[in-house]
């Protein structure tokens, strides 16, 4: 797989997640203004991930060449899931299922939280972290250390993103098992 294709796939995943969360805001926002703002914030944060992936693509294209094979980046390729194609297919299949449920318009708040927990705990996070490791390498090789603060801030934002999901699940979910799943997700991300 080329670096360009990997960035394209990741950017598509972030775009789809942003749209899904925006849809949840529209569908469930009538329940409570705080719920609407929560889903809007989740969507905005996914858009920020999308923008970072685009930034990373530009930087990596300049440093490595966008047609470089990801396996040619030895110090980061070892973090790549063993079968990246299968991993990406699993992520997109799950998103298809989640989008179908949301697009049906028949979704409860607890179901929305279950979807968000599944998304934030999926291999998409591993893929995103892998791209961050490639971006880190590009920053190092391009001798632009001032860009590293952007990556560090994004890693902090990812923890905050999950923390926000955990807090909202605690506050608004009725299903105790969802709250436990959210807490496990938080442990996984810290």
Evaluate if residue 52 carries a pLDDT over 80: yes
pLDDT digits (tens, 9 = 90+) for 65-83: 989 887 655 454 455 556 6
pLDDT digits (tens, 9 = 90+) for 2-26: 889 989 999 999 999 999 999 999 9
Backbone angles phi, psi at 2, to 5 degrees: -85, 160
What is the tally of structural domains in the chain? 1
Q: Calculate ∠ Cα 133-98-18, nearest 5°.
A: 50
Specify the pLDDT at position 96.
Answer: 96
pLDDT-derived band at 160, boundaries 50, 70, 90: confident
Q: What pTM value is reported for the model?
A: 0.89
If one counts every other C-beta atom within 10 angstroms of the C-beta of residue 47, the result is: 16
Which one has a higher pLDDT value, 82 or 116? 116
What range does the domain containing 129 cover? 3-189
Query: Which ranges of the chain would DSSP assign to H, the alpha helix?
Result: 3-28, 33-63, 74-77, 84-103, 109-120, 123-141, 148-172, 176-189
Evaluate if residue 56 carries a pLDDT over 60: yes
Specify the pLDDT at position 115.
Answer: 96
Phi-psi category of residue 105: left, alpha or beta, with phi > 0 → left and psi -120 to 50 → alpha: left
pLDDT-derived band at 43, boundaries 50, 70, 90: very high
């Amino acid at each position: 797989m080329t670096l360009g294709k990997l960035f394209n796939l990741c950017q598509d995943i972030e775009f789809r997640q942003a749209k899904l969360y925006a849809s949840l805001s529209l569908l469930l926002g009538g329940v409570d203004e705080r719920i609407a703002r929560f889903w809007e914030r989740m969507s905005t944060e996914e858009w920020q991930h999308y923008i970072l992936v685009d930034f990373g693509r530009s930087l990596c294209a300049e440093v490595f060449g966008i047609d470089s094979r990801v396996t040619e980046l030895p110090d980061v390729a070892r973090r790549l899931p063993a079968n990246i194609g299968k991993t990406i297919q699993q992520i997109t299949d799950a998103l298809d299922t989640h989008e179908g449920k949301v697009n049906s318009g028949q979704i409860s708040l607890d179901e929305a939280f279950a979807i968000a927990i599944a998304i934030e705990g999926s291999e998409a996070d591993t893929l995103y972290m892998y791209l961050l490791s490639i971006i880190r390498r590009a920053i190092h090789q391009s001798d632009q250390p001032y860009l590293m603060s952007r990556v560090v801030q994004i890693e902090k934002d990812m923890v905050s993103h999950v923390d926000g999901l955990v807090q909202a699940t605690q506050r608004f979910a009725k299903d105790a098992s969802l709250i436990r799943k959210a807490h496990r997700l938080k442990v996984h991300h810290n």
